[in-house]
Amino acid sequence: MKKVGIIGGSGYTGGELIRLVIHHPALELEFVYSTTRAGKAVTSAHPDLLGSLDLDFTDKVNENIDLLFLCLGHGNSRAFLEKHSFSKETIIIDLGNDFRLNSDQEFGGRHFVYGLAELQRDRIEKATAIANPGCFATAIQLALLPLAKHSLIKDAVHINATTGSTGAGVGLSPTSHFSWRNNNLSWYKPFTHQHLGEIHQSLQQLNSPSALFFMPQRGDFTRGIFATAYTHFDGTLEEAKTLYKDYYASHPFTQVSDEEISLKSVVNTNFCFLHLHKHENTLLVTSAIDNLVKGASGQAIQNTNILMGWEENLGLQLKASIF
């Protein structure tokens, strides 16, 4: 059993990670670090864990822990690691955005590998530190990677993606409380969202730099991302389907559906479902993920399984709550 420490376990991502770790057959949760909740039961923040976990938050860390997951706000992982030293044997997986870009991947004698298995599983297998991808970035990249791999993105890509309220984090804000979010829809950060950097980086890695016009939206639901991306495509729909199915044949969590997809099919799972539609010379790719699982904590466990040499779906055989 590998012992796990979680830094920042009181939020949505940390809570989801706790749930996955305690049910993983090869992982043992040793501590959950929180300066604001130290001494309080983990169930005070995550009441659904009552009866499943008897553990208090702590403000102390075990610097020799086997696996360390950082579930901190963006920009805070680097600051935390500057104040705490961990064994060279400790594997660190950061769920924030501090180490995703190539220019930020060297830190404290560690090299953080970008943790998108469908792009570079071979590098993850050899990694000792992982920069987990962003939720929007995951959904969008999985929609585009097969086209990029074969240099078939010849024109601009237009992307629209709607995320649930958990994507904004557990902290209150004017656009996250119930009376504003319920029965409402709005866009934010048009064409400038912070996840564009890592998407561009991956497309350039495949020698397929592209213009991306990304419009993020806030949905009036709690979890999940439903994204559509369309661009010029000269091939037939059947050729596109073959391209995508061949690319993802060895990746268990990305599935290409011949039928139209909906968000509920992937919520509470680590799957990404894709669907292709052709209209004249335009290919529309629809991508659906759970922002807290495949877009965050589930992908962190998937990366853990890969670098440990375990089955990729170990502890991730989850059921969607489709109804």
Long-range contact list for 275-282, CB < 8 A, 24+ apart?
Answer: 276/237, 276/240, 276/241, 276/244, 277/237, 278/233, 278/236, 278/237, 278/240, 281/232, 281/233, 281/234, 282/230, 282/231, 282/232, 282/233
Is 323 a domain residue? no
Within this chain, do residues 119 and 151 fall inside the same structural domain, yes or no?
Answer: no
Measured between alpha carbons, how far is 26 from 2 in angstroms, rounded to an integer? 6
Per-residue pLDDT tens for 160-185? 999 998 877 766 677 877 888 889 99
Burial track 13-29 (b if 16+ CB lie within 10 A, e otherwise)? bbbbbbbbbbebeebeb
Is 314 a domain residue? no
At 31, give phi and psi (nearest 5°).
Answer: -150, 155
Q: Is the pLDDT of residue 270 over 80?
A: yes
Domain coverage including residue 120? 2-133+294-308
Candidate list 7, 27, 135, 143, residue with the active-site label = 135
Q: Is the pLDDT of residue 266 over 80?
A: yes
Q: Rounded to two decimals, what is the model's pTM? A: 0.96
DSSP for residue 112: P
Q: Is 135 noted as a catalytic residue in this protein?
A: yes
Per-residue pLDDT tens for 13-22? 999 999 999 9
DSSP β-bridge partners for residue 106: 111
Of 226, 244, 215, give the one whose Cα is nearest residue 152: 244
Is 313 a domain residue? no
Within this chain, do residues 107 and 189 fall inside the same structural domain, yes or no?
Answer: no
CATH number for the domain that contains residue 248: 3.30.360.10
Q: Assign 3-class secondary structure to 188-248.
A: CCCCCCCCHHHHHHHHHHCCCCCCEEEEEEECCCCCCEEEEEEEECCCCHHHHHHHHHHHC
Within this chain, do residues 285 and 300 fall inside the same structural domain, yes or no?
Answer: no
| Alpha-helix residue ranges (DSSP H) falling in the chain | 12-22, 76-83, 117-125, 135-149, 178-181, 196-205, 237-247, 298-308
pLDDT bracket for residue 314 (50, 70, 90): very high
| Mean local confidence (pLDDT), 276-291 | 98
Is 129 a domain residue? yes
Q: Which CA distances in Å does 109 have to 64, 82, 105, 194, 212?
A: 16, 12, 10, 26, 34
Calculate the CA 71 to chain-centre distance.
Answer: 12
Q: ∠ at Cα 195 (190, 200), nearest 5°? A: 100
Within this chain, do residues 200 and 121 fall inside the same structural domain, yes or no?
Answer: no
| Mean local confidence (pLDDT), 15-35 | 97
Tell me the DSSP string of 88-108. Answer: TT-EEEE-SSTT-SGGG-EET
Per-residue pLDDT tens for 106-161? 999 999 999 999 999 999 999 999 999 999 999 999 999 999 999 999 999 999 99
Measured between alpha carbons, how far is 282 from 139 in angstroms, rounded to an integer? 19
| pLDDT at residue 172, as a whole number | 65
| pLDDT at residue 226, as a whole number | 98
| Mean local confidence (pLDDT), 75-99 | 95
- Number of domains the chain is built from: 2
Q: How many CA atoms lie within 13 A of 279 on its CB side?
A: 5
| Mean local confidence (pLDDT), 83-101 | 96
CATH number for the domain that contains residue 9: 3.40.50.720
Within this chain, do residues 211 and 261 fall inside the same structural domain, yes or no?
Answer: yes
